[in-house]
């Protein structure tokens, strides 16, 4: 069979979320179809592009004749990680993909129910989600309580304070939305805040249900599901002659937990910040919520300095001061919960770091397509721990992450172009191929700081203007295609425009060998 000599990459424009259809051709013949994720952030949509239309379009492009009937067929469905904006289209009730014939499903080792480390990570995440939901609920009920008691009216700049509180709660909820709608289903356990979980479930019931649907209904047989470890190399895949696929991440080591860049000039991204582990905080919340836990209860002080609330309430001094009813509006015992925002962000990062990161190489052309999911700092850094042994002209050669980045001609921006999901020195600065093109799946006003503009600027420099955003009206793809960017030659510009198709539903780029 003749080698694959062109790949069409279609990015859908349905809103904040990933859905990429890759079609591999040999000449004019379609040889292989791969779908990478299909999801939309909770509470987001683009009116003109409902998810159902996206799936209809996929069906149109991938259907084959089987027993005289037209059946949508995918050679591979890749699920990068368990976030609603990557999996929501697989929600079982939607039945959007149920008629599909899917040969293989690829997921990261972190989804493997038999992997011991994955089990620990998932238990940890489940704990954090319980804590997050409890804290978020408590924070909003405290604001309500204080508002009713007239606190914000009586205090200096109270109205502004109330506005800030409400904004904060809104931001907190928008992070928890990445775990999907948190409240449906029967026969489930309910956390103290009313969030429902099934006992062994990793994240909210809804994201897990979508994932389970993929595993149980869409996989024709269990052996069709493959869980990948980093460092794996796939060559000579059925239907993909001339293609090599490298598994870059997620890492199977301590880098999995590294979601924030190092401090100072060693920072790995285009932005710097610090963060500390939030597990003590999680334990504190769980204790408050009455959930069970280990020996460390998360308290900052030993018992010598402690007085329990029930005891303090009976104590004559506190009774006449702190616990007096007309002082209730200025109580502070729940204010420590305000760092919940940091917990929410850390969890979001942790899940993103479990992203399956793949590099797809057209061997003869030495061109690579990079799909990192929402991988963040630790995941990217770990790619550099591996070398892949490939055969070229009968000889064995070593390939490392730098070689892969050097050959990258297409980059699916990590995590919708946020500040910590495109590595700098060990990432984008190594992507020095003159043909580099970047697609960014994101929409305006969905997530604070996305897209991270200094990163977009640098991507634009690296790609010489060939950066296309799916659904953000501040960075309209149509507008970008109007004028030739200064850095591109007329020939490069023509080549790019000739190989881009753009309409309301999708943006498609064809990589030609």
Residues that bind Zn ion (CB under 5 A): 85, 374
The residues with which 12 forms a beta bridge, in sequence order, are 506
The least distance separating Zn ion from the CB of residue 483, rounded to whole angstroms, comes to 31
- Of 44 and 85, which CB lies nearer to Zn ion in the complex structure? 85
Closest CA to 128 of 196, 205, 203, 208: 203
**Residue 78, both tokens:** 């890749």
Question: How many residues make up the chain in this entry?
Answer: 513
- Of 122 and 354, which CB lies nearer to Zn ion in the complex structure? 354
The CA radius of gyration of the chain, in Å to the nearest whole number, is 25
Q: Is the peptide bond before 397 cis (omega within 30 degrees of 0)?
A: no
- Of 85 and 177, which CB lies nearer to Zn ion in the complex structure? 85
**Residue 344, both tokens:** 């929410």
The least distance separating Zn ion from the CB of residue 427, rounded to whole angstroms, comes to 17
Those residues with Cβ within 8 angstroms of residue 144's Cβ, 6 or more apart along the chain or in another chain: none
The least distance separating Zn ion from the CB of residue 207, rounded to whole angstroms, comes to 12
CA distances from 277 to 327, 350, 352, 394, 471 (A): 34, 11, 16, 49, 34
**Residue 50, both tokens:** 């409902």
Given a contact cutoff of 8 angstroms between Cβ atoms, the answer to whether 448 and 173 are in contact is no
Given a contact cutoff of 8 angstroms between Cβ atoms, the answer to whether 506 and 4 are in contact is no
3-state helix, strand, coil in the chain (%, to 5): 40, 20, 40
The least distance separating Zn ion from the CB of residue 123, rounded to whole angstroms, comes to 23
Q: How far is Cα of residue 205 from the mean position of the Cα atoms in its chain?
A: 17
Given a contact cutoff of 8 angstroms between Cβ atoms, the answer to whether 437 and 509 are in contact is yes
The least distance separating Zn ion from the CB of residue 357, rounded to whole angstroms, comes to 13
- Of 352 and 365, which CB lies nearer to Zn ion in the complex structure? 352
Cα pseudo-dihedral 341, 344, 349, 352, rounded to 10: -150
Q: How many helices (H) and strands (E) does the chain have?
A: 15, 20
The least distance separating Zn ion from the CB of residue 233, rounded to whole angstroms, comes to 26
- Of 85 and 111, which CB lies nearer to Zn ion in the complex structure? 85
The least distance separating Zn ion from the CB of residue 352, rounded to whole angstroms, comes to 7
What is the bridge-based pairing of β-strands 506-512 and 189-190? unpaired
- Of 87 and 240, which CB lies nearer to Zn ion in the complex structure? 87
Burial of 19 (C-beta count, 10 Å sphere; 0-12/13-18/19+): buried
The least distance separating Zn ion from the CB of residue 41, rounded to whole angstroms, comes to 8
The least distance separating Zn ion from the CB of residue 83, rounded to whole angstroms, comes to 5
- Of 207 and 403, which CB lies nearer to Zn ion in the complex structure? 207
Closest CA to 211 of 220, 201, 221: 201
- Of 40 and 286, which CB lies nearer to Zn ion in the complex structure? 40
The least distance separating Zn ion from the CB of residue 303, rounded to whole angstroms, comes to 43
- Of 259 and 374, which CB lies nearer to Zn ion in the complex structure? 374
The least distance separating Zn ion from the CB of residue 17, rounded to whole angstroms, comes to 7
- Of 111 and 374, which CB lies nearer to Zn ion in the complex structure? 374
Annotate 453-496 with DSSP letters as a single string. HHHHHHHHHHTTT-EEESS-GGG-HHHHTTS--TTS-HHHHHHH
- Of 142 and 376, which CB lies nearer to Zn ion in the complex structure? 376
């Amino acid at each position: 069979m003749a080698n694959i000599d062109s790949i069409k990459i279609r990015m859908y424009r349905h809103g904040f979320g990933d859905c990429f259809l890759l079609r591999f051709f040999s000449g004019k013949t379609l040889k292989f179809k791969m779908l990478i994720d299909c999801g939309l952030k909770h509470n987001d949509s683009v009116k003109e592009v409902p998810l159902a239309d996206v799936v209809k379009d996929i069906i149109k492009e991938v259907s084959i004749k089987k027993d005289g009937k037209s059946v949508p067929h995918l050679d591979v469905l890749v699920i990068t990680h368990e976030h609603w904006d990557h999996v929501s289209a697989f929600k079982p009730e939607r039945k959007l993909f149920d008629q599909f014939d899917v040969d293989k499903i690829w997921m990261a080792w972190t989804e493997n129910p038999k992997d011991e480390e994955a089990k620990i990570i998932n238990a940890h995440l489940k704990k954090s989600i319980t804590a997050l939901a409890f804290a978020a609920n408590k924070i909003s009920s405290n604001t309500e309580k204080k508002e009713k008691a007239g606190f914000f009216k009586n205090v200096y700049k109270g109205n502004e304070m109330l506005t800030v509180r409400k904004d904060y709660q809104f931001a907190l909820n928008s992070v928890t939305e990445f775990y999907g709608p948190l409240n449906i289903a029967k026969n489930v356990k309910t956390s103290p805040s009313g969030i429902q979980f099934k006992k062994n479930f990793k994240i909210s019931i809804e994201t897990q249900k979508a994932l389970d649907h993929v595993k149980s209904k869409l996989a024709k047989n269990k052996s069709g599901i493959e869980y990948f470890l980093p460092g794996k190399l796939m060559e000579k895949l059925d239907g993909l002659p001339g293609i090599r696929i490298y598994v870059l991440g997620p890492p199977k080591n301590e880098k999995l937990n590294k979601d924030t860049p190092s401090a100072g000039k060693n920072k790995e991204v285009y932005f710097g910040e610090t963060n500390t582990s939030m597990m003590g905080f999680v334990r504190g919340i769980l204790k408050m919520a009455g959930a069970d836990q280990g020996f460390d209860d998360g308290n900052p002080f030993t018992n010598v300095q402690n007085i329990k609330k029930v005891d303090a309430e009976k104590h004559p001094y506190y009774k006449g001061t702190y616990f007096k009813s007309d002082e209730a509006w200025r109580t502070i015992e729940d204010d420590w919960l305000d760092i919940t925002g940091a917990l929410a962000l850390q969890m979001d990062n942790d899940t993103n770091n479990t992203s399956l990161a793949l590099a797809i190489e057209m061997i003869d052309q030495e061109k690579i397509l990079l799909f990192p999911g929402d991988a963040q700092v630790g995941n990217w850094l770990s790619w550099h721990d591996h070398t892949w042994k490939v055969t070229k002209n009968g000889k064995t050669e070593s390939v490392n992450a730098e070689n892969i980045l050097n050959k990258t001609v297409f980059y699916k921006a990590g995590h919708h172009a946020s500040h910590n999901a495109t590595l700098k020195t060990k990432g984008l600065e190594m992507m020095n191929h003159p043909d580099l093109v970047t697609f960014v799946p994101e929409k305006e006003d969905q997530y604070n700081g996305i897209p991270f503009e200094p990163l977009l600027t640098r991507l634009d420099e690296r790609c010489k203007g060939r950066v296309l955003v799916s659904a953000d009206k501040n960075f309209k793809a149509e507008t970008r295609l109007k004028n030739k960017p200064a850095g591109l030659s007329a020939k490069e510009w023509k080549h790019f425009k000739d190989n881009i198709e753009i309409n309301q539903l999708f943006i498609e780029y064809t990589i030609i060998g």
